Protein backbone atom coordinates (compact mmCIF):
# COMPACT_ATOMS: atom_id res chain seq x y z
CA UNK A 1 0.00 0.00 0.00
CA UNK A 2 2.81 2.38 0.89
CA UNK A 3 4.59 1.61 -2.42
CA UNK A 4 1.46 2.54 -4.37
CA UNK A 5 1.28 5.85 -2.50
CA UNK A 6 4.89 6.63 -3.39
CA UNK A 7 4.28 5.74 -7.05
CA UNK A 8 1.23 8.04 -7.19
CA UNK A 9 3.19 10.87 -5.52
CA UNK A 10 6.12 10.46 -7.94
CA UNK A 11 3.70 10.47 -10.91
CA UNK A 12 2.07 13.70 -9.69
CA UNK A 13 5.45 15.37 -9.09
CA UNK A 14 6.73 14.30 -12.51
CA UNK A 15 3.58 15.73 -14.11
CA UNK A 16 4.10 19.06 -12.32
CA UNK A 17 7.69 19.28 -13.49
CA UNK A 18 6.74 18.69 -17.12
CA UNK A 19 4.03 21.39 -16.96
CA UNK A 20 6.36 24.05 -15.53
CA UNK A 21 8.61 24.50 -18.57
CA UNK A 22 9.67 28.10 -19.12
CA UNK A 23 8.25 29.62 -22.27
CA UNK A 24 10.82 30.18 -24.99
CA UNK A 25 11.51 33.88 -24.43
CA UNK A 26 14.64 35.33 -26.03
CA UNK A 27 15.90 38.93 -25.81
CA UNK A 28 18.48 40.34 -28.24
CA UNK A 29 19.97 43.77 -28.84
CA UNK A 30 19.26 44.93 -32.40
CA UNK A 31 20.00 48.66 -32.51
CA UNK A 32 21.47 51.56 -30.54
CA UNK A 33 20.79 55.28 -30.94
CA UNK A 34 22.75 57.83 -28.96
CA UNK A 35 20.18 60.53 -28.20
CA UNK A 36 21.96 62.95 -25.91
CA UNK A 37 25.28 63.55 -24.26
CA UNK A 38 26.47 65.82 -21.48
CA UNK A 39 29.75 65.96 -19.65
CA UNK A 40 28.48 63.54 -16.98
CA UNK A 41 25.98 61.30 -18.73
CA UNK A 42 25.07 59.93 -22.14
CA UNK A 43 21.51 58.87 -22.92
CA UNK A 44 21.02 56.07 -25.41
CA UNK A 45 18.06 54.17 -26.72
CA UNK A 46 18.70 50.45 -26.99
CA UNK A 47 16.26 48.61 -29.23
CA UNK A 48 15.71 45.00 -28.17
CA UNK A 49 13.88 42.24 -29.99
CA UNK A 50 11.85 39.95 -27.75
CA UNK A 51 10.98 36.57 -29.27
CA UNK A 52 8.17 34.35 -28.06
CA UNK A 53 8.99 30.82 -29.18
CA UNK A 54 6.02 29.35 -27.30
CA UNK A 55 2.79 28.18 -28.97
CA UNK A 56 0.80 30.48 -26.64
CA UNK A 57 0.92 34.28 -26.31
CA UNK A 58 2.95 35.68 -23.41
CA UNK A 59 2.42 38.88 -21.48
CA UNK A 60 5.57 40.72 -20.48
CA UNK A 61 5.10 43.01 -17.48
CA UNK A 62 8.42 44.83 -17.15
CA UNK A 63 12.07 43.99 -17.62
CA UNK A 64 15.59 44.80 -16.45
CA UNK A 65 18.45 44.74 -18.97
CA UNK A 66 22.16 44.97 -18.05
CA UNK A 67 24.23 45.90 -21.09
CA UNK A 68 27.93 45.22 -21.72
CA UNK A 69 29.84 46.51 -24.76
CA UNK A 70 33.21 44.96 -25.63
CA UNK A 71 33.23 43.24 -22.25
CA UNK A 72 32.56 46.38 -20.18
CA UNK A 73 29.39 47.14 -18.26
CA UNK A 74 27.93 50.39 -19.62
CA UNK A 75 24.49 50.64 -18.07
CA UNK A 76 21.14 49.24 -17.11
CA UNK A 77 17.78 49.77 -18.77
CA UNK A 78 14.46 49.38 -17.00
CA UNK A 79 11.02 48.96 -18.50
CA UNK A 80 7.69 49.04 -16.69
CA UNK A 81 5.60 48.56 -19.82
CA UNK A 82 3.19 45.69 -20.34
CA UNK A 83 3.55 44.07 -23.75
CA UNK A 84 1.69 41.07 -25.15
CA UNK A 85 3.70 39.03 -27.61
CA UNK A 86 1.60 36.78 -29.86
CA UNK A 87 2.42 33.11 -30.08
CA UNK A 88 5.46 32.22 -32.19
CA UNK A 89 6.16 35.88 -32.84
CA UNK A 90 8.44 38.74 -31.84
CA UNK A 91 8.31 42.46 -31.13
CA UNK A 92 10.80 45.26 -30.71
CA UNK A 93 10.96 47.42 -27.63
CA UNK A 94 12.92 50.63 -26.93
CA UNK A 95 14.81 50.84 -23.64
CA UNK A 96 16.30 54.14 -22.43
CA UNK A 97 19.68 53.69 -20.76
CA UNK A 98 21.62 56.40 -18.95
CA UNK A 99 25.27 55.54 -19.53
CA UNK A 100 28.22 56.50 -17.37
CA UNK A 101 30.38 58.73 -19.54
CA UNK A 102 33.75 57.55 -18.30
CA UNK A 103 33.02 53.97 -19.33
CA UNK A 104 31.11 54.98 -22.44
CA UNK A 105 33.33 57.64 -24.08
CA UNK A 106 35.42 55.12 -26.04
CA UNK A 107 32.35 53.08 -26.98
CA UNK A 108 30.55 56.15 -28.40
CA UNK A 109 33.65 56.98 -30.44
CA UNK A 110 33.69 53.42 -31.78
CA UNK A 111 29.99 53.71 -32.67
CA UNK A 112 30.53 57.00 -34.51
CA UNK A 113 33.55 55.58 -36.35
CA UNK A 114 31.45 52.67 -37.54
CA UNK A 115 33.33 49.86 -35.80
CA UNK A 116 31.70 46.60 -34.81
CA UNK A 117 31.07 46.08 -31.09
CA UNK A 118 30.58 42.86 -29.17
CA UNK A 119 27.69 42.98 -26.73
CA UNK A 120 26.31 40.93 -23.89
CA UNK A 121 22.86 41.57 -22.48
CA UNK A 122 21.69 40.00 -19.23
CA UNK A 123 17.94 40.44 -18.90
CA UNK A 124 15.19 39.55 -16.47
CA UNK A 125 11.76 39.69 -18.08
CA UNK A 126 8.68 39.50 -15.88
CA UNK A 127 5.96 37.30 -17.33
CA UNK A 128 2.35 37.32 -16.21
CA UNK A 129 0.90 33.89 -15.59
CA UNK A 130 -2.20 32.50 -13.91
CA UNK A 131 -0.38 32.50 -10.58
CA UNK A 132 0.98 36.07 -10.71
CA UNK A 133 4.25 37.35 -12.11
CA UNK A 134 7.56 35.53 -12.43
CA UNK A 135 11.00 36.55 -13.61
CA UNK A 136 12.71 34.71 -16.45
CA UNK A 137 16.45 35.30 -16.93
CA UNK A 138 17.97 35.49 -20.39
CA UNK A 139 21.51 35.99 -21.63
CA UNK A 140 22.38 37.04 -25.15
CA UNK A 141 25.74 37.78 -26.77
CA UNK A 142 26.43 39.03 -30.25
CA UNK A 143 28.02 41.70 -32.41
CA UNK A 144 26.60 45.03 -33.46
CA UNK A 145 28.00 45.90 -36.86
CA UNK A 146 27.25 49.37 -38.29
CA UNK A 147 28.30 48.17 -41.74
CA UNK A 148 25.33 45.82 -41.60
CA UNK A 149 22.96 48.63 -40.55
CA UNK A 150 22.52 47.54 -36.93
CA UNK A 151 23.59 50.80 -35.24
CA UNK A 152 22.39 54.33 -35.82
CA UNK A 153 23.24 57.47 -33.90
CA UNK A 154 20.51 59.99 -33.15
CA UNK A 155 20.44 63.71 -33.87
Collapsing DSSP to helix, strand or coil, 112 comes out as helix
20-148 adopts what CATH topology? Immunoglobulin-like (2.60.40)
- Higher confidence at residue 74 or residue 136? 136
Q: Where are the alpha helices (DSSP H) in the chain?
A: 2-19, 101-112
Q: What is the pTM of this model?
A: 0.74
The pLDDT > 90 percentage for the chain reads 40
Mean pLDDT along residues 12-31: 60
pLDDT at 105: 58
Q: Where are the domains of the chain?
A: 20-148
pLDDT digits (tens, 9 = 90+) for 31-87: 888 777 777 777 888 999 999 999 999 999 999 999 988 888 888 999 999 999 999
Closest listed residue to residue 123, CA positions, set 53, 65, 37, 48: 65
Amino acid sequence: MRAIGWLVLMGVLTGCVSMSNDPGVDVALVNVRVSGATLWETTAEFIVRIDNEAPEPVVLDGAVHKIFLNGRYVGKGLSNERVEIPRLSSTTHAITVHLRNLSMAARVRELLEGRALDYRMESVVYLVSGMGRRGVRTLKEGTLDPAMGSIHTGP
